[in-house]
Amino acid sequence: MEQTLYEKVGGEEAIAKVVDYFYSELVLKDETVNHFFKHTDMDKQRRHQTKFISFALGGPNQYSGMSMAKAHEGMNIQPAHFDAIAKHLHHALAHYGVSEADIDTALTKVASLRDDIQYK
């Protein structure tokens, strides 16, 4: 039986490390997107994002947050912002040794949410 991408990357614990690096070292240091998180409880954001990414990669559905459209309502995220976040996710996954093929799979899933996130 083939492993899910969630299992291949090491499950929720490994994804939590990726998410922590993603925010701490990449997103929050990027002045083009960090303003979106100025008033965000980052501990809560990291927990939500870990559960969301875990589910998106084939793990258990523990995500109970708002829909993507609702969560991004009023943010007016532009294509350049979306692309910057996707680039940071790519770098975070690569930093933890995820293969390019698996990163491409993950980013394809993220790209499928573009219409629910942009221009809201």
Q: Per residue in 18-63, pLDDT tens?
A: 999 999 999 999 999 999 999 999 999 999 899 988 988 889 877 7
The H or E element that residue 52 is part of is helix 42-56
User: Does residue 3 lie within any of the structural domains?
Assistant: no
User: Does residue 4 lie within any of the structural domains?
Assistant: no
User: Does residue 44 lie within any of the structural domains?
Assistant: yes
Q: What is the CATH number for 73? A: 1.10.490.10
> So what's the pLDDT on residue 65?
73
Rg (C-alpha) for the chain, rounded Å, is 14
User: Does residue 1 lie within any of the structural domains?
Assistant: no
pTM of the full structure: 0.91
Distance in angstroms (rounded) separating the CA atoms of residues 67 and 103: 23
User: Does residue 106 lie within any of the structural domains?
Assistant: yes
* pLDDT mean across residues, the chain: 93
Residue 71 sits in which domain range?
10-117
What is the domain count for the chain? 1
User: Does residue 5 lie within any of the structural domains?
Assistant: no
Q: What is the pLDDT of residues 75-86, one digit of tens each?
A: 999 999 999 999
> So what's the pLDDT on residue 99?
92
User: Does residue 43 lie within any of the structural domains?
Assistant: yes
User: Does residue 78 lie within any of the structural domains?
Assistant: yes
